[in-house]
């Protein structure tokens, strides 16, 4: 059976490096049976988690917004690709709001809905990746995945890209996206 792949695009900038590299990944997988669902967070209405803990008392989230539809997509997926540029050595604001709402799955009521799924990190960034701050960024995702029992299977750090679309000037990055896309 084809794998259900959910791509969460947390880029704030339209047609930027994250958008471009995701497009390359998707294009590369076109001949495969994989079902790819791309969710662009900046086009969605997703409110902050308000910490009401309803998800821990019952199996539901108290906020009725676009995240409800995304919860359904997560439940059906086999792999979740977390794509966000690095902002202040973390993810973008909209990606963080999305991640906060994954608290729904931190509840023992709901953990089985996400546990065991594959996770992939895609992160364009301006700086060189060989510094301790990049490790902080990686640690953030590792802790998230540990808590949600997601199985990290790949991390793509596309460093030294800043201008819109600059990522496409790097043949190695295009190759990585192509190989990954083909593997889906």
- With respect to ligand FMN, which residue has the nearer C-beta, 62 or 126? 126
Burial class (CB in 10 A: 0-12, 13-18, 19+), 31: exposed
Nearest approach, Cβ of 133 to ligand FMN (angstroms)? Answer: 7
Q: Is 114 helix (H, G, I), strand (E, B) or coil?
A: coil
Q: Using CB under 6 A, which residues numbered 9 to 38 contact ligand FMN? A: 11, 13, 16-18
- With respect to ligand FMN, which residue has the nearer C-beta, 88 or 132? 88
- Phi, psi (deg, nearest 5) at residue 59: -95, 40
Q: Are 114 and 149 contacting, i.e. CB atoms less than 8 angstroms apart?
A: yes
Choices 31-39, 53-61, 82-90, 147-155 (CB under 6 A): range interacting with ligand FMN: 82-90
Distance CA 116, CA 112 (A): 8
Q: Are 2 and 33 contacting, i.e. CB atoms less than 8 angstroms apart?
A: yes
Nearest approach, Cβ of 159 to ligand FMN (angstroms)? Answer: 7
Neighbours of 67 (CB within 10 A): 22
Nearest approach, Cβ of 72 to ligand FMN (angstroms)? Answer: 26
Q: Does 87 bind ligand FMN (CB under 6 A)?
A: yes
> Residue numbers of the site for ligand FMN (CB under 6 A)?
11, 13, 16-18, 85-89, 124-127, 161-162, 164
């Amino acid at each position: 059976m084809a794998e259900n792949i959910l791509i969460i695009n947390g880029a704030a900038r339209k047609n930027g490096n994250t958008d471009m590299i995701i497009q390359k990944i998707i294009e590369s997988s076109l001949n495969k049976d994989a079902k790819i669902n791309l969710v662009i967070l900046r086009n969605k209405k997703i409110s902050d988690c308000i910490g009401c803990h309803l998800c821990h008392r019952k199996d539901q989230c108290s906020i009725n917004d676009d995240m409800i539809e995304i919860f359904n997509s997560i439940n059906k997926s086999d792999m979740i690709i977390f794509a966000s540029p690095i902002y202040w050595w973390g993810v973008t604001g909209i990606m963080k709001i999305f991640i906060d709402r994954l608290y729904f799955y931190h509840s023992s009521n709901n953990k089985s809905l996400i546990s065991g799924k594959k996770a992939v990190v895609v992160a364009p960034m301006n700086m060189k990746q060989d510094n301790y701050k990049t490790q902080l960024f990686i640690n953030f995702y590792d802790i998230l995945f540990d808590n949600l029992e997601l199985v990290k299977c790949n991390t793509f750090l596309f460093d030294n890209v800043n201008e819109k679309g600059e990522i496409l000037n790097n043949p190695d990055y295009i190759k990585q996206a192509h190989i990954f896309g083909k593997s889906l």
